[in-house]
Amino acid sequence: MKNIKAIIFDAYGTLFDVNSAAEMCKNKIGDKWENFSNYWRMTQLEYTFLRTLMDRYKDFWQITEDSLDKSMKVYKIDNSLKKELLNLYKKLSVFPEVKQTLIKLKEKKLKLAILSNGTPTLLNGLVNSNNLNDLFDDIFSIDEVKVYKPSPKVYEMPIKKYKIKKNEVAFLSANTWDVSGGGNYGYNPVWVNRNNNIFDNLDFKPDYEIKNLKDISSFL
């Protein structure tokens, strides 16, 4: 991968562990905590896709709460845990290798940014709570364009600000549909396949597949 001027990261599942909120409550939720957490995440994503198709925008925090409501009913989890789970979602854990990888990339004088469905408040909160404040040049939220990934309007935001070419961007995501969305837009897409998943059949395949962010050196 040549002439890369910016590395753009997805947030949820790529930098931050979306299961960490439910995991912190696993003693209260029980053995079903992981299935519950995965269902919450899939419902959350489903709502972003459906609201985009219906042209009925709600911000990501509202969608997170709506999807949690349904998930708690499906898994018969006491509603008294709702406030705690939502508060924990604001402080999701960063994956272990993320900070040191970002520090090394910063030394290369590359633009580093987050491009996410999350609201600015949520994303800034996650960056601050995980002590990543000085490592990103920008945090781009879909709140600016009021449409969710994988709309091309989302991927356009960093290009407009940085005045660079699409093929000068390496875009990293753990979500296959997001990787395809970035590839469809014209980015160099990289799949962070943390869980040995199978890539979806969505026309655009990743240029590179890595297990975690430490493997970034394999293509830079």
pTM, 2 dp: 0.96
Q: Does residue 80 share a domain with residue 148?
A: no
pLDDT at 2: 84
Containing structural domain, residue 109: 6-17+93-218
List the chain residues with pLDDT less than 50: none
Residues 206 and 193: beta-carbon distance below 8 Å = no
Half-sphere exposure of 193 (CA within 13 A, CB side): 15
The β-bridge partners of 62 are none
Sorted by sequence, the CB contacts under 8 Å of residue 92 that are 6+ apart come out as 12, 16, 17, 18, 20, 21, 126
Q: Does residue 12 share a domain with residue 107?
A: yes
Number of domains the chain contains:
2
* φ, ψ of residue 58 in degrees (nearest 5): -130, 145
Catalytic residues: 10
Q: Does residue 143 share a domain with residue 180?
A: yes
In 3D space, the residue among 101, 126, 105, 104 whose CA is nearest the CA of residue 116 turns out to be 126
Q: Does residue 73 share a domain with residue 11?
A: no
Q: Does residue 202 share a domain with residue 108?
A: yes
Tell me, what amino acid is at 89?
Answer: Y
Nearest 10 degrees: Cα torsion 203, 152, 44, 94: 90
pLDDT at 218: 84
User: Of the candidates 41, 63, 89, which is a domain's last residue?
Assistant: 89
Q: Does residue 134 share a domain with residue 202?
A: yes
Strands 111-116 and 138-141: parallel
pLDDT at 1: 81
